Amino acid sequence: MPMPKKMKKGYFVQGEFVAEGSERDLELKAELKGSDTPSRTELKAQSAALQTLGEQLLTLRADLLNSLQLPGQLLDALSHAAGLTNFEARRRQMQFIGKLMRKLDSATLDLVRHALDTQAMGPAADTLLLHQAEQWRDGMVQDDALVARWIDQHPATDIQHLRALVRQVRKEASPEKPGMAVRKGRAFRDLFQLIRDGLGLPDKDGDSLATPSYQSQKEAS
C-alpha cells in the first residue's frame, strides 16, 4: 500500500497556498517586518527593466549617447551588440549589457532616460533648440552681457573664437552704405554653428549607435 503523500508545510493567504521557505513566503515575511530590502521578484523586475533600458541605448543618436559619458566597458558592449545578427549571441550580449547597466548610479540612469525621452520627442525638440540657438546668436550680437552669460554657462567654449565671431558679425551687420541690406556672411553662420554645437544640436544626419558611421567613429577614436 503506497505511503500517503507528505503535505507541504505552509499557509493560505487570500485563497493562495504559500509554502514555507518559498519565494512568496519570504516576500510576505519581509512585508510583515516592514523590510526595505527588495524581494527576489522585485530585483528580477529591476534587472529586466535595466536590460531593456540598455537595449534602448542601441537606438540612441551618437550625439546624445556621447553626452552621457557612460563607462567605456558599457560603450564597447553596446557597440559589439549593434553588430550582432545571431539571436543567441545577441541575447547573451544584452544580458551582459543589463549587468553593466546595474552598475550605473541613479543619476546616470536618469540622464539615460532623459536622453531617450529627448530623442523620442523627435523634430520638436530639435526645433526648440534651433530657436534657442537663434535667440542666443541674435542676443550676443546685440549685448555683451549675453556673451558673458554664454561663457558662464558653457565654460568649454573657445572664448577668443566666440568674441572674434561676435565682433565680425557686428561689423558685417553695419551696411556699407545707407539703405543697403545687412550682409550676413560666414561669421554669422559660424557663430550660429558654434552655439548649435554648444547646445548639443545634432547635424541633420545625426547618427545612432547602430549606424555604420558610429562604428567608424569608434574605430577612428
Distance CA 212, CA 221 (A): 14
pLDDT number for residue 194? 93
| Contact criterion met (CB below 8 Å) for 90 and 81 | yes
| Contact criterion met (CB below 8 Å) for 64 and 120 | no
The string of pLDDT tens digits covering residues 128-173 is 778 888 899 999 999 999 999 999 999 999 999 999 999 999 988 7
The string of pLDDT tens digits covering residues 87-132 is 999 999 999 999 999 888 888 888 898 888 878 776 666 677 788 8
| Contact criterion met (CB below 8 Å) for 200 and 172 | no
pTM: 0.43
Structural domains of the chain in order of their starting residue, each with its CATH number: 40-121 (1.10.60.30), 123-198 (1.10.60.30)
Percent helix, strand and coil across the chain, each rounded to 5? 65, 5, 30
